[in-house]
């Protein structure tokens, strides 16, 4: 096994372990604090700092990874997540909104350090020859498998909450991630993705118009998902449809696992459309317009009260498949359009926009659900997707070269 593939597998394994804890803690917090009597908007506010500090982390993290190495930024992220999990094991009386927001802030920093490091490092591990198709495959497998593991994390969170309680679940997750952190410290080489010349902080802002338009499209794409998925959907399933914790966690787990499988399969699914080449700006535009129709269709079905559970489940399956393709195309383009020296900073800038969209979607998920219900969340989602598709019209076609800025 060559060193590039070996390191790719280690990075992927570390990312998988982190993702399990990230999905589990999300489900634990949503369900446990809803059980404690928090309103949907208050539950959403618990994730405010999680998403806000994701914006800051991606901006600073890409620059930091270029200076100290992507292996180290990934390991710092794992350590912060272990600490954040342990923070929540305190007695209920300590779990004020401010305290939980602080713990979630650390978790958000950890998540985005880990994600940025894992995805940016792939560019440095893929061989130069035949890089385009292999890069699309490796990114799709990493991202798709991550989302499948996040789905398992959702199920794991709901299951652990039911079996060992809130604090027992947190201790199990923290112990698992600490073990993986120690393994990556031993196995990964130092200085992965570190630039030869120390970059200035001002260099994190992309001067490439294509990456800026792509980042803007990404902002609304992920805002469209989280505006109904973060708070509105799990609370609706539990409080309106009467599902149990394990049913909510299990269903959302299966949804994300399916989403991850489609995402990992995106290169094969798009091969006929693009031949041997990777996707381009036209691909992003086409799939975004197609996805725009789905939340609107689900909203209309719910408004007509036509077999609510069936409409929601079928709509979610279709939404997950199309969203997965959209996300896989975006994730490939940002890495493909970056050169090897600047990849961590470009990916950091791009995921800063991703985190901004998640922040807006998370806040709106609680507020819109509380005032307009799940139907209102779906209409906002459709509007965001339309904006993402319109922004994608600015992306170049037939571009495969990295940027030099």
User: SS3 breakdown of the chain: % helix, strand, coil, rounded to 5?
Assistant: 80, 0, 20
pLDDT for 323: 92
pLDDT for 197: 54
**Taking the CA atoms of the chain, what radius of gyration do you get in angstroms?**
20
Is-contact 393 285, C-beta < 8 A?
yes
Is-contact 151 260, C-beta < 8 A?
yes
Q: Which of 20, 396, 401 is nearest to 214 (CA)?
A: 396
Nearest-angstrom CA–CA distance, 405 and 390:
25
Q: Is 272 helix (H, G, I), strand (E, B) or coil?
A: helix
Between the CA of residue 146 and those of 58, 152, 259, 328, what are the distances in Å?
A: 18, 10, 10, 12
Nearest-angstrom CA–CA distance, 49 and 97:
11
Spans in the chain with pLDDT lower than 70: 1-5, 7-8, 61-63, 65-66, 119-136, 138, 143-144, 189-207, 271-278, 338-346, 398-405
Between the CA of residue 42 and those of 101, 143, 336, 358, what are the distances in Å?
A: 11, 30, 39, 16
Residue matched to tokens 């390991």: 75
Nearest-angstrom CA–CA distance, 376 and 372:
5
Q: Which of 248, 249, 268, 16 is nearest to 148 (CA)?
A: 16
Torsion on CA atoms 153, 154, 160, 165, rounded to nearest 10? 130
Nearest-angstrom CA–CA distance, 186 and 182:
7
Is-contact 255 316, C-beta < 8 A?
yes
pLDDT for 128: 55
Neighbouring CB atoms inside 10 A of 305's CB total 8
Q: Which residues pair with 403 in a beta bridge?
A: 338
pLDDT for 82: 93
pLDDT for 263: 79
Nearest-angstrom CA–CA distance, 157 and 141:
24
Helix axes 281-303, 308-336, angle to 10 degrees: 160
pTM of the model: 0.71
pLDDT for 388: 95
pLDDT for 44: 74
Is-contact 263 328, C-beta < 8 A?
yes
Q: Which domains does the chain have, with CATH numbers?
A: 3-392 (1.20.1250.20)
pLDDT for 221: 93
pLDDT for 344: 61
b/e code 262-272 from CB counts within 10 Å (16+ = b): bbbbbbeebee
Distance of CA 94 to the CA centre of its chain: 29
């Amino acid at each position: 096994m060559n060193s590039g593939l070996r390191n790719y597998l280690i990075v992927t394994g570390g990312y998988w372990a982190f993702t399990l804890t990230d999905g589990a803690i999300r489900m634990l917090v949503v369900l446990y604090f809803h059980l404690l009597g928090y309103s949907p908007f208050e539950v959403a506010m618990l994730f405010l700092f999680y998403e806000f500090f994701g914006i800051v982390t991606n901006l600073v993290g890409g620059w930091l990874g270029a200076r100290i190495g992507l292996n180290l930024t990934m390991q710092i992220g794992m350590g912060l997540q272990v600490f954040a999990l342990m923070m929540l094991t305190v007695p209920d009386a300590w779990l004020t909104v401010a305290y939980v927001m602080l713990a979630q802030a650390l978790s958000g920093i950890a998540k985005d350090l880990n994600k940025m490091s894992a995805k940016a490092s792939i560019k440095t591990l893929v061989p130069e020859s035949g890089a385009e198709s292999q890069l699309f495959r490796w990114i799709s497998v990493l991202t798709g498998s991550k989302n499948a593991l996040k789905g398992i994390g959702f199920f794991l969170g709901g299951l652990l909450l039911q079996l060992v309680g809130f604090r027992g679940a947190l201790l199990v997750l923290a112990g698992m991630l600490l073990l993986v952190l120690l393994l990556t410290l031993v196995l990964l080489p130092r200085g992965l993705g570190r630039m030869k010349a120390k970059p200035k902080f001002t260099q994190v802002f992309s001067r490439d118009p294509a990456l800026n338009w792509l980042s803007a499209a990404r902002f609304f794409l992920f805002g469209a998902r989280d505006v109904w998925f973060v708070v509105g959907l799990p609370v609706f399933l539990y409080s309106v449809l009467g599902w149990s914790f394990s049913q909510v966690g299990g269903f959302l787990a299966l949804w994300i696992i399916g989403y991850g499988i489609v995402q990992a399969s995106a290169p094969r699914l798009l091969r006929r459309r693009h031949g041997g080449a990777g996707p381009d700006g036209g691909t992003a535009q086409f799939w975004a317009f197609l996805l725009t129709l789905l939340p609107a269709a689900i909203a209309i079905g719910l408004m007509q009260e036509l077999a609510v559970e069936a409409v929601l489940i079928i709509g979610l399956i279709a939404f997950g498949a199309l969203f997965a393709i959209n996300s896989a195309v975006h994730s490939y383009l940002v890495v493909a359009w970056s050169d090897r020296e600047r990849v961590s900073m470009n990916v950091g800038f791009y995921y800063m926009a991703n985190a901004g969209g998640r922040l807006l979607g998370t806040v709106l998920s609680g507020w819109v659900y509380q005032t307009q219900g799940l139907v209102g969340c779906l209409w906002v989602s459709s509007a965001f997707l339309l904006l993402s598709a319109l922004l994608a019209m600015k992306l170049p076609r037939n571009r495969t070269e990295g940027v030099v800025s």
